[in-house]
Amino acid sequence: MTDPLTPSATDPATRPIVRLRPKAEARAIRHGFPWIYADELVTDRRTQALAPGTIARLEDSERRAMGTVTVNGKSKIIARMLDRDPEAVIDRAWIAARLTRALALRARLYPEPFYRLIHAEADGLPGVVIDRFGDVAVIQPNAAWAEALLPEIAAALVEVTGVSAIVKNGQGRSRALEGLPEETLLLQGMVDGPVPVRMNGATYMADVLGGQKTGLFFDQRPNHAFAALLAKDARVLDVFAHVGGFALAALAGGARSALAVDGSAPALALAEQGAAAGGMAERFATRQGDAFDVMEALAAEGEVFDLVICDPPAFAPAKPALEAGLRAYERVAMKAAALVAPGGYLCLCSCSHAADLASFRNASARGIGRGGRRGQILYTGSAGPDHPILPQLAESGYLKTVFFRLDG
């Protein structure tokens, strides 16, 4: 097997060549689509022998150069475009240039260093996610090339940002699809405990070593801010709250009270720490349990709230789960609508790649109707600008957030 860390990464002359099949859609790739699927590439014995993460030269079926790619024969996405230049040198300087460009955007957008620094293909580092929590950064190397070049990515990250601690989060479905093992470890520096993160006037506690994903979801930041506009003097219910994302923003916006519901006791404990850090503890409460069970119990208790938010995990992460996932979103909307006071607000979210906005919005409207309510859509949100979307890759625009105002 070829070692992905051979000079092929830094010396284009030694790079193996992989070639598109004659009927592959070369035009889409030339126009910016970043992936080559397994049935689009010639997979002869030589190509099959390449180690996952090998850097290669991509050619079309007529042997015209198309760029520099990384190859993984174990993945349905057999090749990912790294650079349109077939002579590109993929080294620490190349990675640092991508990081510098991404940092310039985030520094313009945010006054403090709390954001997603790298959003995979859209920031020119395919399969790589980097979230920054001040002096701590969490890298998710979700593609084989990133796993192989992780030391170079980490070194470039320190060079560009000056972070003192780096965590590798090697968890999740994406790594499994690449044939990569799961592991989380501290690559550099020290992390003493949850990291305080300031956003939208609230303080969140991110468990970067043991929490969900990288420890905090930056993508909902603009939607938290919109919820805060609706929250003044309101009773707020935040379901699937994780570390209190919407609830703490609502309290910072002047909510009278907020109840956070989640199945994870550690996540709710972090939410409570965040509320205390922001001086909001007296207005904040938590309730652990299955979200559907808790919503049913609250309805049975006669509870109603001025603003209800439901931000569940991905019920439809891939197309085979789409139908069942949409039914689950419909059920969430039905249960939540029963808890909204007359004239109150309901925020429903989906982070499912397979469910597009129209499908999710329709499922939500059906659920609200099944709950005996009607309403108007006030606002439709997506991930913040630190999660840029590659126009050719619809999958990078995964987050949908819809705010409804319900009738009496």
CATH topology of domain 92-188: Transcription Regulator spoIIAA (3.30.750)
Domain 12-83, classified CATH 2.30.130.10, yes or no: yes
Average pLDDT, integer, range 149-161:
98
Statement: residue 372 has pLDDT above 80: yes
- Residue 58 and residue 43: Cα distance in Å, rounded? 13
Q: What is the pLDDT of residue 190?
A: 97
- Residue 264 and residue 266: Cα distance in Å, rounded? 6
Average pLDDT, integer, range 19-35:
89
Q: How far is CA 41 from the centre of its chain?
A: 29
For the stretch 273-299, pLDDT in tens is 999 999 999 999 999 999 999 999 999
CATH topology of domain 203-406: Rossmann fold (3.40.50)
- Residue 89 and residue 132: Cα distance in Å, rounded? 26
- Residue 372 and residue 184: Cα distance in Å, rounded? 45
Query: Which whole-number Å values give the CA distances from 315 to 85, 221, 262, 348, in the listed order?
Result: 39, 21, 16, 13
Domain boundaries along the sequence of the chain? 12-83, 92-188, 203-406
Statement: residue 7 has pLDDT above 70: no
Which candidate, 52, 86, 51, 47, places its Cα nearest to that of 67?
A: 86
Catalytic positions are 351
Which candidate, 149, 151, 91, 142, places its Cα nearest to that of 120?
A: 142
Average pLDDT, integer, range 262-270:
96
Q: Write the single-letter amino acid at 4.
A: P
Statement: residue 155 has pLDDT above 70: yes
Q: What is the pLDDT of residue 2?
A: 45
Statement: residue 247 has pLDDT above 60: yes
For the stretch 110-144, pLDDT in tens is 999 999 999 999 999 999 999 999 999 999 999 99
Confidence band for 338, pLDDT divided at 50, 70 and 90: very high
For 156, the token pair is 């470039």
Confidence band for 173, pLDDT divided at 50, 70 and 90: confident
Mean pLDDT score of the chain:
94
Average pLDDT, integer, range 215-228:
96
CA angle 166/169/174 to nearest 5° reads 140
CA angle 386/68/92 to nearest 5° reads 60
Q: What share of the chain is helix, strand, coil (3-state, %, to 5)?
A: 35, 30, 35
For the stretch 67-105, pLDDT in tens is 999 999 999 999 999 999 999 999 999 999 999 999 999
Average pLDDT, integer, range 345-364:
96
pTM: 0.94
- Residue 247 and residue 25: Cα distance in Å, rounded? 46
